[in-house]
Amino acid sequence: MEESGMFKNLKAELDSIMDRDPAARTQLEVFLLYSGFRAVRSYRWANWFYRHDMKLIARYISQRARHKTGVEIHPAAKIGKGLFIDHGMGVVIGETAEIGDYCTLYQGVTLGGTGKDQGKRHPTLGNNVMVGSGAKILGPFKVGDNARVAAGAVVLSEVPPGATAVGVPARIVRINGEKSYELDQINVSDPVEQEMADLQNVCTALGMQVEMLMDRLESYQKDRANKKEP
């Protein structure tokens, strides 16, 4: 790993964590104490050895980091700058996974395979993607730029840019097509809840129409009764 590139990536990761984590007080604190940062730093070294055909050393570094941090990143994965792994414990990033710039992964996230694919087996995340805690993204498809995956979601197919994936299996919710930097795992739209709300609105409207028809029928019957009176 070139020294200038190493320190450039190191600074980018420290800056990205300071920008996005309200609990981070100083860069020194992040450098010394953040398990996610430590895991990514170890990955950078492991990836360098892997690319230089020293795979045993690469795997040793990655497995040692896994025991120290609870984060397992295969040294062959491709990860852009500014990755923020918050809390970190239980995160798994597979061999052919690719992650763009300034992505955020919370604890328990898996970027894995389905066991059925050959070659490219793991997902590709675009830039500025947020993946909530416990989410699983499984398979060789892309999660587009600025997309969000809600906590606990299981994503099995492509997520368009600027969309949100929610549920098990995940369904897609479009969010204005605009870039979003909010690290919000809770306030995401639930498509099932939205459909139920829409159905309830339709039922309410139909109920009002039925009441209007009943009122008209009652009025009509009264008119007929009045006309029959001598």
Is 175 in the same domain as 204? no
Terminal alpha carbon distance of the chain: 106
Helices (H), the chain: 3-20, 27-33, 35-51, 55-69, 191-228
Query: Residue 7 in 3-state DSSP?
Result: helix
Range of the domain at 202: 190-230
Judging by beta carbons within 10 Å of its beta carbon (0-12, 13-18, 19+), is residue 84 exposed, middle or buried? Answer: buried
pLDDT tens string for the chain (230 positions)? Answer: 455 566 776 777 788 788 887 777 888 888 888 888 899 999 999 999 999 999 999 999 999 999 999 999 999 999 998 899 988 889 999 999 999 999 999 999 999 988 776 789 999 999 999 999 999 999 999 999 999 999 999 999 999 999 999 888 888 876 655 444 444 555 555 555 666 777 888 888 888 888 888 888 888 777 777 766 65
Claim to verify: residue 119 and residue 40 sit in the same structural domain: yes
Is residue 223 domain-shared with residue 168, that is, in the same domain? no
Could you tell me if 8 and 105 lie in one domain? yes
Pair 31, 63 in one domain: yes
* Residue-by-residue DSSP string for 162-221: TEEEETTTTEEEE-TT-------SSS---HHHHHHHHHHHHHHHHHHHHHHHHHHHHHHH
